[in-house]
Structure 1
Amino acid sequence: MTMSLEDELTTAAVNGNSAEVEDLLRRGAQVNGLNRFGRTALQVMMMGSTPVARLLLTHGANPNVADSSTGLTPLHDAARTGFLDTVRLLVEFNANPQAVDNANCRPVDLARKYGNEDVVNFLDSLENSQ
């Protein structure tokens, strides 16, 4: 069975391979296309890979796509795992910091739960500046 370009794109994103991500997008992979597991590249990307995140977002990846089973967005995942650079980038590309998952948690709630204080401080500062 041959993999779709979207499967290849999500695999490259999981592996943090920005050169391959760029090549696949150039070859016509749909940035918001779903892989065989129903996920987009932004949903499955290596959260610490800011170059991959930037590539996907500048090519129009939807930063507010939610996991169909959990309601988690990429911002929830980045906040939970504590990758401040990725959190900042997602917010810069209009990720909604007030999005709630199926457990009614916002990204800041997950950052707090997992002890990612720098992410908590950044997300709290967004609320306070509005």
Structure 2
Amino acid sequence: MHPGDDLASAAASGNTDRVRMLIQNGVGVNCVNRFGRTPLQVMMMGSTTVAQLLLVSGADPNVADTLTGTTPLHDAARTGFLDTVKILVKFHACPNTRDNMMCRPIDLAIKSGHNDVVEFLHTL
């Protein structure tokens, strides 16, 4: 098993208690799973407690997916999770980063019809 798989799996399933335990046991918040993705990249976007825990523990919100160029902010904006978008921005996620298709997070929110996310990102 790859060292980052446990933490990534816990983040992806929104299991805050397991994420906390793994971090307390020394698993690095920026470690990658066997697919080369960090826990923040694979986290359940609607789980603001997991996002907050990872970010407070030092997770980098600007790590881009090597295939698509998307960041966690792109993913949260595309899926319409405003609370997660706000937490990522609070922890310095760059709202102007472009993915491989030259889209910013706000562009993905517009395409997906998430007007509340668009309004928030427009204020930045």
Measured after TM superposition, the shift of residue 123 of structure 1 is 0.2
* Aligned residue in 1 for 2:59: 61
1:49-128 equivalences in 2 (<5 Å): 49-126=47-124
Task: Encode CA deviations 1:65-97: one digit per residue, 9 max, x unaligned.
Answer: 000000000000000000000000000000000
Offset from partner CA, 1:17-56 (integer Å, 9 cap, x none): 0000000001111100011010000000000000000000
Letter of the aligned partner of 2:37 in structure 1?
Answer: R
Q: Percent of pairs identical after alignment? A: 62
Per-residue deviation, 1:6: 1.4
> Take 2:5 and 2:67, find their aligned partners in 1: how far apart are those partners?
19
**One-letter amino acid of the counterpart of residue 68, structure 2:** T
1:88 and 1:26 mapped to 2: Cα distance?
25
Structure 1: any 5+ residue segments left out of the alignment?
A: none
33, 43, 57: which one aligns with 1:45: 43
Is 1:63–1:90's contact at 8 Å kept on the other side of the alignment? yes
Alignment gaps of 5+ in structure 2: none
Size of the aligned set, in residue pairs, is: 124
Kept in 2: contact 1:9–1:41 (CA 8 A): yes
Contact 1:5–1:24 at 8 Å: present in 2 too?
no
Q: TM-score, normalised by structure 2?
A: 0.98
Shifted more, 61-70 versus 3-12: the winner is: 3-12
Contact 1:7 1:35 in 2 (8 A): yes
Aligned to 2:14: 16
Deviation, 1:5, is: 4.1
Give the Cα separation in 2 of the matches to 1:112 and 1:42. Answer: 23
Given that 1:32 and 1:41 are in contact with CA atoms closer than 8 Å, whether structure 2 keeps it comes out as: yes
The structure number with the bigger radius of gyration is 1
Runs of 4+ in 1 over 6 A off after TM superposition: none
* Counterparts in 2 of 1:78 and 1:71: CA distance versus 1, 3 Å: same
